[in-house]
Amino acid sequence: MLKSIDVLMVGVGGQGTILASRVLAQAAQAAGYDIKVSEIHGMAQRGGSVVTQVRLGEKVYSPLIVKGGADVLLAFEKLEALRLLSYLKKDGVLIVNDQAIDPVPVLVGAAEYPPDIPEYLCTTVPGTLVFDATEIAGRCGTAKAANVVLLGAMARRLPIERAIWEKALAERVPAKLLEVNQAAFAAGYELG
Amino acid sequence: MKELLSGNAAIARGAYEFGVTVAAAYPGTPSTEILENLVLYPGVYAEWAPNEKVAMEVGIGASLGGARALVAMKHVGVNVAADPLMTFSYTGVNAGFVLVSTDDPGMHSSQNEQDNRHYARFAKMPLLEPSDSQEAKDMVGLALDLSERFDTPVMLRTTTRVSHSQSLVEIQEPQPRKLKNYLKDIKKNLMLPTYARPRRVALEKSLTGLKEYSEESPVNRIEWRDRSLGVITSGISYQYVRDVLPNASVLKLGFTNPLPEQLIRSFAAGVQKLIVVEELEPFIEEQVRAMGLALAAEGFIPYTGELDPGILAAALINAGIITSREGIAQNGYNLEEAPPVPARPPVLCPGCSHRGVFYALRRLKLNVSGDIGCYTLGGLPPLEAMDSNICMGASIGVAHGIGKANPALDARTVAVIGDSTFLHSGITGLLDVVYNKGHATVIILDNRTTAMTGHQHHPGTGRTLAGEQAPAVNMEALVRVLGVNRVRVIDPLNLAETEAAIAEELAASEPSVIIADKPCALLTKATRPAVRVQAEKCTGCRICTRIGCPAISIKDKRALVDAAVCTGCNLCLQVCREGALVKGEEKHA
């Protein structure tokens, strides 16, 4: 019996959450899971929040994860981690990119970006993994691969073999960018 | 072989596998990807029509011409297409015809959340409701078969969660299929009263046949489990029911117009308690009640917004159907102490050509009737330069009406409409202004694409859906030929020119059109050097933040331009009164 796993990926338009969710889905399919992926297009393209929901299991019904039901919350931006935290199950896994992208109300001074998000998250959710994926990706060749660094960090914590992940990555990433993305995935995977 | 496909991609795959060779649509979330996927298959002709009514008419023609046809649109698109649809159900088809309506409960990207199942009933046509991608694909085939068997157009109705969620789909190769012969049959297809009256009778007869079919349809099935609770459900709601009430018996309806009355009665007789679970309108529930069947709870699910397993569980608890959220998790964190989270609203992109127009409209304090597209975001803070927004193409008629109601308002009222929207249904509005001697000032925000839905082509872009070159309409000439004498083209990122043009056209006592001509910033990849801030000149007045540009912020009471985001459109320079913002320097090789 395959354990059912609900993954919520959250970020800001343009951060590569969609690609990351595609790689996860592909790896899960190869590992024999039934899958449902849900994403919202449209307004999200104009700088809004992006939320992708991936559900894995023997048989998956609803494409939507309930509040308090996510096994993993993978946040590409820390404010979005905070926004969607109510979806994470107690004892769920929280992985956060320590990157801030100011929303327009913050840019124009109408709202404040909370100063201490990582501290709050780490106190509230024991075992939270916070790191600067953008910086790590930069060292691998391009800051744009931050999504794959995060994916690597999550992959380590899911019951799918590393070789299956790597094959899924190779199938989803364009050939000329594969080497950089493989390095980014490995860097994330080895974060522990 | 199984592939992970969105509901929309699965519908396209189904159309390909089941022999659709002609398809038409106007892009609209959440329907857009159906044709974008379908056009990629060999042997399929797929086009963007200027609006849904035209798409519908092309599909009708294809069916008459002997080809299986698919027409796709978002829920509000069916309002536009309703005119031909209502009569098409009288004539019926030659080759199979399926109308895909993608509804948007929760209004993720829409101006209302109408439940288009009512359209199927209204038009007296069969209705299919898939609950995942596999069903979406299979039901395209079923719809086409039913269309030919019962001589009727068929509606395939999805919701955002079916269209935009992905699940595994069995992929098959298409079967070879021949075109049908064109049928010359005026008694069937020429709807003037003497021929239409017998068709009206034939339609009722066809509905009787469809009702019989509904009773035996494989997509209407009973899943017996614990008989203490029975749930009648359809579409995506089925999936939520399976999560929240894993042990309940379920009557899963895939074919929902006309409903299978006998099947519903026998299901009801087999359970102790009966309820209906559906999203948006009580479409099934009201008909079940009209059958005289007793429901254990009525109207207990909210009629507004998108349903999800959490909302369903709460509703079931409230109605006393269940006592706890047994089937689903409820084990979250208590976040009462969490810091406040600022909103992240969608904004006009950096370098967006609409920004200058909205800034000017705001400065001039005008009444602005708006329309559907990216530029509707000009109505949100900080620009807030739009007063109304009803439906595709409404801006011009609304501005005209305001002027007719109170001529004093004419000189302070403008309509703003995008290029794709103008070609969709703005042309007739403008024609009305000219004909009825209005004075409306219309700004066509011409960014040469259908930007909101992801840059689809239209009759003004010079390309088809398939990417082939096509004649591009000359917007200025088109407007002139409608009878508008005052037409001018401006650069919307030149604020002085934009303001002067708007002021002059408002003063004119005849219809006028300003074409704000600049391609979408996401289409033109070449950006100019980023704007620089001369910190010593910046007084921290924040005027530059009023244009709502994601590249500009205030740090330590000084303007800050993010060079990685700035496209060098230089609009902010024109707003700054201190000269603190300057053009970036061109790099010379």
- Determine contact: B1 vs chain A, CB below 8 A: no
The pTM of the full predicted model, rounded to 2 decimals, is 0.96
Q: Which domain holds residue A17?
A: 3-189
Residue B331 is predicted with a pLDDT of 79
Query: Which of B244, B344, B546 to mutate to probe the A interface, most A CBs <10 Å?
Result: B344
Residue B488, C-beta contacts closer than 8 angstroms, at least 6 positions apart = B501, B505, B512, B513, B514, B515
- In chain B, what are the domain boundaries? 1-214, 218-317, 351-515, 530-580
* Cβ-nearest to A108 among B29, B313, B382: B382
Same fold, B1-214 and B351-515: yes
Residue B221 has pLDDT above 50, yes or no: yes
What's the gap in Å between the CA of A172 and the closest CA on chain B? 13
* Cβ-nearest to B164 among A41, A86, A87: A41
Integer Cα distance of B39 and B46 in angstroms: 5
Residue B539 is predicted with a pLDDT of 96
Amino acid in the structure at residue B42: P
Taking CA atoms, what residue in A is nearest to B553? Answer: A107
Residue B329 is predicted with a pLDDT of 65
Residue A115: give its domain's CATH number.
3.40.920.10
Residues A67-101 have pLDDT tens digits of 999 999 999 999 999 999 999 999 999 999 999 99
Four-way CATH pick for B1-214: 3.40.50.1820, 3.40.50.970, 3.50.50.60, 3.30.1490.20: 3.40.50.970
Confidence of residue B527 (pLDDT cuts 50, 70, 90): confident
CB < 8 Å from A in window 126-145 of B:
132
CATH code, residues B218-317: 3.40.50.920
- Determine contact: B163 vs chain A, CB below 8 A: no
Integer Cα distance of B29 and A114 in angstroms: 33
Contact between B309 and A62 using a beta-carbon 8 Å cutoff: yes
Residues B349-402 have pLDDT tens digits of 999 999 999 999 999 999 999 999 999 999 998 899 999 999 999 999 999 999
Residue A41 is predicted with a pLDDT of 59
Integer Cα distance of B238 and B205 in angstroms: 31
Residue A46 is predicted with a pLDDT of 67
Residue A8 is predicted with a pLDDT of 97
Domain count, chain A: 1
Residue A49 has pLDDT above 90, yes or no: no
Peptide bond into B382 cis (omega under 30): yes
Confidence of residue B337 (pLDDT cuts 50, 70, 90): confident
Classify the complex by whether its ipTM is higher than 0.85, answering yes or no: yes
CATH code, residues B351-515: 3.40.50.970
Instruction: Please give the annotated binding residues of B for [4Fe-4S] cluster, written as ranges.
Output: 538, 541, 544, 549, 566, 569, 572, 576
Sign of the alpha-carbon torsion through B583, B584, B585, B589: negative
Residue A83 is predicted with a pLDDT of 95
Query: Which of A34, A46, A117 to mutate to probe the B interface, most B CBs <10 Å?
Result: A46
Residue B457 is predicted with a pLDDT of 98
Question: A38: closest CA among B163, B166, B239?
Answer: B166
Q: What is the mean pLDDT of residues B192-219?
A: 97
Instruction: Please give the annotated binding residues of B, written as ranges.
Output: 538, 541, 544, 549, 566, 569, 572, 576
Chain mean pLDDT for chain B: 96
Residue B589 is predicted with a pLDDT of 47
Residues B481-492 have pLDDT tens digits of 999 999 999 999
Q: φ and ψ at B170, to 5 degrees? A: -75, 120
Residue B587 has pLDDT above 80, yes or no: no
Size of interface A-B (CB pairs under 8 A): 179
Q: What is the mean pLDDT of residues B27-45?
A: 97
Taking CA atoms, what residue in A is nearest to B310? Answer: A66
Report the alpha-carbon angle B549-B554-B556, nearest 5: 170
Q: Which two tokens stand for residue B140?
A: 């395209």
CB < 8 Å from A in window 488-507 of B:
none
Question: Cα torsion for B426, B427, B431, B433, to the nearest 10°?
Answer: 20
Residues B119-176 have pLDDT tens digits of 999 999 999 999 999 999 999 999 999 999 999 999 999 999 999 999 999 999 998 8
Residue B18 has pLDDT above 90, yes or no: yes
Question: B331: closest CA among A68, A185, A96?
Answer: A68
Contact between B243 and A62 using a beta-carbon 8 Å cutoff: yes
Residues B453-462 have pLDDT tens digits of 999 999 999 9
Contact between B166 and A61 using a beta-carbon 8 Å cutoff: no
B172, exposed or middle or buried, with CB in 10 Å at 0-12, 13-18, 19+? middle
Q: Which two tokens stand for residue B534?
A: 């001369």
Residues B81-99 have pLDDT tens digits of 999 999 999 999 999 999 9
Chain B residues within an 8 Å CB radius of A80: 344
Count of C-beta atoms within a 10 Å radius of residue B216: 11
Residue A43 is predicted with a pLDDT of 57
CB < 8 Å from A in window 266-285 of B:
none
CATH code, residues B530-580: 3.30.70.20
Q: Which two tokens stand for residue B62?
A: 């294809």
3-state secondary structure B67-103: CEEEEEEEHHHHHHHHHHHHHHHHHCCCCCEEEEEEE
Question: A160: closest CA among A52, A65, A32, A36?
Answer: A32
Integer Cα distance of B430 and B400 in angstroms: 9
